[in-house]
Copies of this chain bind each other. A is one copy, B any other.
Amino acid sequence: MIKEIKGGICAVDGVKAFGIKEGKKGLAIITAKGNAAGVHTKNKVIAAPNIVTKEKLETNGGFLEAVIVNSGNANAFTGEDGLKDANGMADALAGKLGIDTKFVAVASTGVIGRKLHIDIIKEQMCTVLPNLSSSEKANEETMKAIMTTDLVPKGFAVEAETALGTFRVGGITKGSGMIEPNMGTMLAFIYTDAEVKSEILKSALNDAVRKTFNMIVVDGDTSTNDMCLLTATGKSDVVINSYEKPDVCAEFQNALETVMKELAKMIAKDGEGATKLIECTVTGAYTEDDAIAAAKAIVRSPLVKTAIYGNDPNWGRIVAAAGYSGAEFDQTGISLIVADGCNQVSLVDKGKITKNDEATLSNLKTIMSAETIYIEMNLGTGGKETATAWGCDLTYDYVKINADYTT
């Protein structure tokens, strides 16, 4: 059984954090000792901090003691200097904390192709370090420090009761534009006080990323800096050292996915300029890949996104997006329902348009004006696979924010 708790990552035993934001430049530091796993962007332009952190986790036995994160400069496409700066950030923190730099991860988010001002980061570090704590306020400040165009700080935590005792999972994340993660969202830091063996941690994270962060689309741009780190402090009584206790493994996976799904939805809802969250569930697919492709095509489609922004009952665009997604698809068998959580309207039932009269379209307009819009599409192939993707509407403000980001 899992329940939501307050405090984000600081609710997890063994985690201390703090951060500051000065203008566009922020710095966050998180300390937590334990087995760790990470996933990184699949963009072929890989930011320096991602290269550095990935390499550390591959060579240090999958263990972390601290993470240092700056916002405002992505340290991406910055060549040798960028690598030096990313290592410099980690080394500086390791020096201050008196730990081995190989256990310090580094992450960055912001503008691409600009040299990092490491002096500013070192100054900010001196302000942040004395404030490291496990308070709720510390979690708040950490979430704020890593934001860029985000409007809302994003964190979530749960407590799970198992046969072995209780454990917690907490995470924070940031991300608002350049969002179609292909491995982790822009930045996400997840912690648990369960003790989890390295291989199990890695595979749990990969599975969860596939179903959560990799299922959100804001604009279809994959960032150069996507990174998601999971650290297990082992401070609780729950020890997951093998798959021999499948119940506890499943409970851990469930708690992890719950936290990451909430964080993923927060990112989609806070997509640049967004006014609405779109949750699209595709069923009746032959393969999970087909279900994923169709669900993501629908939440990625600029035409679907603008229609949802304007409450325009132009549902044919949803069908068209599934049609070009590459998923196996039988247009004589598909079904389409749009809902707002309370009411729903059936638009297509097994290939036939349910009703396209004024009353139906007016009903659809009302449903589309809700804060969360649920789209349910059956691909009509008779297959059993499903997937859910999250996105947001496309608005004037997305254009405004991105026409004027660096200047």
Contacts and interface: CB of A to CB of B under 8 A. Distances in A.
A390 interface: no
A329 interface: yes
A297 to B, nearest CB: 9
Contacts of A178: 303, 317, 320
Contacts of A208: none
B396 A113 contact: no
Interface stretch (A52-60, A186-194, A221-229, A277-285): A221-229
B77 A312 contact: no
A399 B396 contact: yes
Nearest to A294: B44
Given A221-B302, A221-B320, A303-B178, A403 B43 contact: no
Interface string A162-179: 000000000000000110
Contacts of A77: 316, 319-320, 331, 348, 353
A interface: dominant SS: loop
Stoichiometry (number of copies) = 2
Interface in A297-311: 300-303, 306-307, 309-311
B323 A224 contact: yes
Given A303-B178, A396-B400, A405 B312 contact: yes
Give the interface centre of A223, A320, A353, A402 by most chain B CB atoms within 10 Å.
A320
Contacts of A112: 314, 316-317, 319-320
A88 interface: no
A324 B79 contact: no
A232 B331 CA distance: 34
A113 B353 contact: yes
Given A76-B320, A316-B77, A331 B403 contact: no
A58 B228 CA distance: 52
